[in-house]
Amino acid sequence: MADHYDIAVVGAGPAGGNAALAAAQAGLRVALLDEQPTPGGQVWRDKSASILSAPVTPESRAGAALRKAIETSAVTPLSQIRVWDIRLRDDHWVLQAQRAATSQEITSKSLILATGAREYVQPFPGWTTPGVIGLAGATALFKQSLTLPGKRTVVSGTGPLVFYVASEIRRLGGEVAAVVTPNTRSQWARALPDMLGQPKLLARGALWVADLMLARVPILWGHAVAQVDGAEQVTALKVRNLRTGTDGPDIAADSLCIGHGLIPNIEAAQILGVAVRHDPSLGGWVPDAAPDGATAIKGLYLCGDGCGIRGATAAGLQGSLTGARAARDLGRDAPTSPLARWHKADRFGRAMTALSLPTPALEALTTRDTIICRCESLRCTDIIDEVATGAASTNAVKSGRRAGMGPCGGKYCQSAIATLIAAQTGKSLADVPPPTPRPPLRPVPLGQAAGAFEYDALPISKPAPL
C-alpha cells in the first residue's frame, strides 16, 4: 500500500519532529503529519513567504535547523494534512486525514502522537471583545507574519510567555502600555531553584524583563486585567490588584494579549484508550506516558506538550527518546540516551507550568455575566444554573446546555466549566474529568469524511426486523 509506513507521527513540533528523525535514523519509514504548511510546531513556526528577510530569532533558528534536518533525512513530511480520526484496525493504525479538498487513509505499524498544546484564557468581562488575542496566539502572529496585535497593547497573563510577548512587541516596533501579571516577584523567586538547571532559558527571560524595565514599561506584578471596555474594539482596560482587590486607573489601549497557561491536547490519546490523570504541574489532565513516550497500549507513543506542558526543550528531548524507543520496539537498533537532560528540562517545565496556572483569585474575575462558551454564547450564570439543578459532571452540563458542543468541541471552555462545577459542588478538580472525547479531532467537511463512493457499493445490510 502506498500510504503505509512503519511509524506515523502526528504533530511536527519539536517533539514530533525529533521523534520522526530518531526513528528514521534507525532505518524506519516514517511519515510526519501536520496541519501547518511546514514543520516547526507552535514554538518554531515558520515565517510566511512575505517576511523571509525578517531578522533571525532563537525560535526561527531552531525551527530552521529542524526543517533542514527533516529535509535531509529519510522522513516523509506530510504538511497541511489534518488528522481527524485514528484507530487500530487489526494490527495497524489507521489515520483518517484531510488534505485540501481530498481525503486519504494513512496506515502505520506504530503511532507517535505529538499533538502539542492549546492556550487557556480564564474568562473575564470583555474577554471576547475584538482586539483581545491570546498570548500564545500573538507569538504565532509575530513568527508567521511579523504582525502586531495593535498600536498600543497591554500584555497580560501568567508564566514567562507574558515577558516574551511584551519584548517581542517592542522589538517589532509596537508600544506596550503595560505588562500585567498575576504572578508576584516572590513566586518567581521561589521558582528560581528549578530554573537554574536551564541557565540559557533563564538568561533569556532575564533579558526580556531587563529590556522592559529599561524602556520604563510598567510591570504590574500581582495584578490582573479585570475588565475590557469597548464595543467594537478594545478602548481601555481595568486592572485589579489581586491581593487587595482594588482597581487601578483605567489603561487606554487598543489591544490586549492575554493568556493563562497551556492545556495539553490529549483528545487523540484519550480516544485511543490511554488513561488520563489530573496533574496541575503539567497543565491539567494528562495521559499516562513514560519519559520515552511508551504507553500502556502496544505501538502507541506520546511525547511533547501533548502529554504534559514542559516546554520546547523538554518536548524536543522527549521526541528523540520516543522515536528511538518506538524504533527499538520494532526491532531496530537505536541508542538509549540517558534521561538526565530530560529530567532537568522536565523540572524547569513544571516550574513554568506551575507559575502559569490560573489561581482562585484569577478565577474570581469570571463574573456571572461573563461568556464562558463562545461557540454557544453561554454565560457563567448558564453553567451555574445547570449545576444548581443537579448536573454535577462536564458530560451532564454539556448535555443540558450544549456547553462545548460547538465547532471547538469544548477545547477552549472545558477547563473553565470544570472549575465552575468543582467550585459549586465542592469537588476537587481531579474529580471533574473532561467530557467523553469523540472524533473528529478537527471538524471535517461531511463530503470529505464520507470520501468518494458509489451508491451501489455502500454496505447496505438487511433491514431491521419488521
Partner 1 sequence: MTHTPTYDIAIIGGGIMGCATALRVAEGGMSAIVLDKDDLGQGASGVNAGTLSLQIKRVKLMPYALRGHHLWEQMGDAVGFAKTGGYTLAFNAREAEMLQERQTLKAQAGAPIEFVSNNALRAAEPHLTQKVEAASFCPEDGYANSSLTGQYYRGRLRDAGIAYREGCKVTDIGHSAGFLLTTTTGQIRASRVLLAAGAWLKPLAALLDVDLPVNARVNTVSVTERIPTLMGSVIGHATGLLTMKQKANGTVLIGGGWQGLGTPQDGRGTVNADAVKPNLALAQYAVPALAKARVTRSWTGFEANVPDFYPLAGALPGVPDAYVLGCVRGGYTIGPYIGQLMGDFILGRDPELPLFDPGRDFTKDTT
Ligand X SMILES: Cc1cc2nc3c(=O)[nH]c(=O)nc-3n(C[C@H](O)[C@H](O)[C@H](O)COP(=O)(O)OP(=O)(O)OC[C@H]3O[C@@H](n4cnc5c(N)ncnc54)[C@H](O)[C@@H]3O)c2cc1C
**Residues 110/257, Cβ–Cβ less than 8 Å:** no
CA-CA distance, 143 to 48, in Å (whole number)?
8
CA-CA distance, 319 to 13, in Å (whole number)?
9
Binding partner of 444, given partner 1, ligand X, none, CB within 5-8 angstroms per partner class: partner 1
- Altogether, the residues listed in the chain come to a count of 466
- Residue 111's φ and ψ, nearest 5 degrees, are -135, 130
DSSP, collapsed to helix, strand or coil, labels residue 121 as coil
Binding partner of 16, given ligand X, partner 1, none, CB within 5-8 angstroms per partner class: ligand X
* Residue 272 is a binding residue for ligand X (CB under 6 A): no
Binding partner of 464, given ligand X, partner 1, none, CB within 5-8 angstroms per partner class: partner 1
* Residue 356 is a binding residue for ligand X (CB under 6 A): no
* Residue 287 is a binding residue for partner 1 (CB under 8 A): no
Between 84 and 164, CB nearer to partner 1: 84
* Residue 386 is a binding residue for ligand X (CB under 6 A): no
**CB 445: neighbour CB atoms within 10 A?**
10
Distance of CA 446 to the CA centre of its chain: 26
- Residue 163's φ and ψ, nearest 5 degrees, are -75, -35
| 292 beta partners | none
Binding partner of 69, given partner 1, ligand X, none, CB within 5-8 angstroms per partner class: none
User: Would you state the cell numbers that stand for residue 337, as one nine-digit string?
Assistant: 540516551
* Residue 435 is a binding residue for ligand X (CB under 6 A): no
Report in angstroms the alpha-carbon separations of 215 from 27, 170, 207, 208. Answer: 52, 9, 12, 11
* Residue 119 is a binding residue for ligand X (CB under 6 A): yes
- Out of 253, 258, 441, 444, name the contact with ligand X by CB under 6 A: 441
DSSP 3: T
- Out of 25, 115, 129, 181, name the contact with ligand X by CB under 6 A: 115
Binding partner of 85, given ligand X, partner 1, none, CB within 5-8 angstroms per partner class: partner 1
Binding partner of 114, given ligand X, partner 1, none, CB within 5-8 angstroms per partner class: ligand X
**Residues within window 397-416 making contact with partner 1, judged by CB under 8 A:** 398-400, 402, 405-407, 409
* Residue 422 is a binding residue for ligand X (CB under 6 A): no
**Residues within window 82-121 making contact with partner 1, judged by CB under 8 A:** 85, 87, 89, 94, 96
Report in angstroms the alpha-carbon separations of 29 from 85, 93, 118, 405, 447. Answer: 21, 14, 29, 38, 30
* Residue 43 is a binding residue for ligand X (CB under 6 A): yes
- Least distance from C-beta 193 to ligand X, angstroms? 20
**Residues within window 437-466 making contact with partner 1, judged by CB under 8 A:** 438-440, 443-447, 449-451, 453, 455, 458-466
CA-CA distance, 14 to 316, in Å (whole number)?
5
**Residues 368/380, Cβ–Cβ less than 8 Å:** yes
Between 152 and 442, CB nearer to ligand X: 442
Among 123, 116, 172, 153, residue whose Cα is nearest residue 314: 116
Query: Rg (Cα) of the chain, in Å, rounded?
Result: 23
Query: Long-range CB contacts (< 8 A, 24+ apart) of 190-196?
Result: 191/351, 191/352, 191/354, 191/355, 194/347, 194/348, 194/350, 194/351, 195/348, 195/351, 195/352
| Number of residues counted as binding ligand X (CB under 6 A) | 37
**Residues 393/432, Cβ–Cβ less than 8 Å:** yes
Between 165 and 372, CB nearer to ligand X: 165
| Number of residues counted as binding partner 1 (CB under 8 A) | 46
Q: What is the 3-state secondary structure (H, E, C) of 226-272?
A: EEEECCCCCCEEEEEECCCCCECCCEECCEEEEECCEEECCHHHHHC
Between 170 and 401, CB nearer to partner 1: 401
- Out of 306, 308, 358, 410, name the contact with ligand X by CB under 6 A: 306
DSSP, collapsed to helix, strand or coil, labels residue 136 as helix
Binding partner of 50, given ligand X, partner 1, none, CB within 5-8 angstroms per partner class: none
- Out of 42, 386, 418, 434, name the contact with partner 1 by CB under 8 A: 386
Binding partner of 360, given ligand X, partner 1, none, CB within 5-8 angstroms per partner class: none
**Residues within window 312-351 making contact with ligand X, judged by CB under 6 A:** 312, 315
* Residue 173 is a binding residue for partner 1 (CB under 8 A): no
- Least distance from C-beta 218 to ligand X, angstroms? 23
Binding partner of 116, given partner 1, ligand X, none, CB within 5-8 angstroms per partner class: ligand X
Summarize as ranges the residues that interact with partner 1 (CB under 8 A).
85, 87, 89, 94, 96, 271, 273, 386, 389-393, 395-396, 398-400, 402, 405-407, 409, 436, 438-440, 443-447, 449-451, 453, 455, 458-466
Summarize as ranges the residues that interact with ligand X (CB under 6 A).
10-16, 33-36, 41-43, 59, 82-83, 114-119, 136-137, 139-140, 262, 265, 304-306, 311-312, 315, 441-442
